[in-house]
């Protein structure tokens, strides 16, 4: 496994992967050494994340190597279907997965998302439109939703 750290507007992103794909992208708060020379297997992910933060990218196409339960993978796949600039409630997500009662399991799988930003768990909000539950902190969730706001003049929240 190779690892790289890049600075983003939201803190440091640590990217982990190998020839089979990127397996983890996580935000880390503590100051760390920023990678200056990137391993070949991570270069595309690094470039795509940088493009995202510069407003040049709305989706990701690098190879992903996800590890999780079948249910988690189904939830993550549904998250990938939420369009850039749009949000979805936990209830709507549960309905799409075919079980309204699975809302807590959906929220738990959302929280286990291994690919920060790439699998857009930040686009999932409460049924009442509130910003709820985000492992990286609500302020980051708000920043990401505002960053993806196609209008850009005013905050969605």
Q: In what order do the strands lie in the sheet with 2-8?
A: 2-8, 11-18, 21-28
Question: Is residue 121 annotated as part of the catalytic site, yes or no?
Answer: yes
Backbone dihedral angles phi then psi of residue 24, each to the nearest 5 degrees: -155, 135
Q: 27 with 116: CB under 8 angstroms?
A: yes
Q: 148 with 106: CB under 8 angstroms?
A: no
Q: How far apart are CA 133 and CA 56, in angstroms?
A: 27
Single out the catalytic residue among 121, 124, 144, 145. Answer: 121
Tell me the catalytic residues: 121
């Amino acid at each position: 496994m190779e690892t790289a750290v890049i600075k983003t507007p939201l803190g440091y992103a640590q990217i982990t992967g190998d020839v089979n794909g990127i397996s983890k992208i996580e935000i880390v708060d503590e100051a760390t050494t920023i990678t200056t020379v990137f391993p070949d297997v991570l270069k595309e992910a690094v470039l795509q994340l940088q493009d995202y933060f510069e407003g040049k990218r709305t989706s990701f196409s690098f190879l992903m190597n996800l590890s999780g339960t079948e249910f988690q993978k189904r939830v993550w796949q549904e998250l990938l279907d939420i369009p850039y600039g749009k949000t979805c409630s936990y209830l709507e997500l549960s309905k799409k997965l075919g079980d309204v009662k699975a809302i807590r399991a959906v929220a738990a799988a959302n929280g286990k998302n291994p690919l920060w930003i790439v699998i857009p768990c930040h686009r999932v909000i409460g049924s009442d439109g509130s910003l709820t539950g985000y492992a990286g902190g609500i302020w980051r969730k708000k920043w990401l939703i505002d960053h993806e706001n196609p209008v850009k003049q005013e905050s969605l929240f």
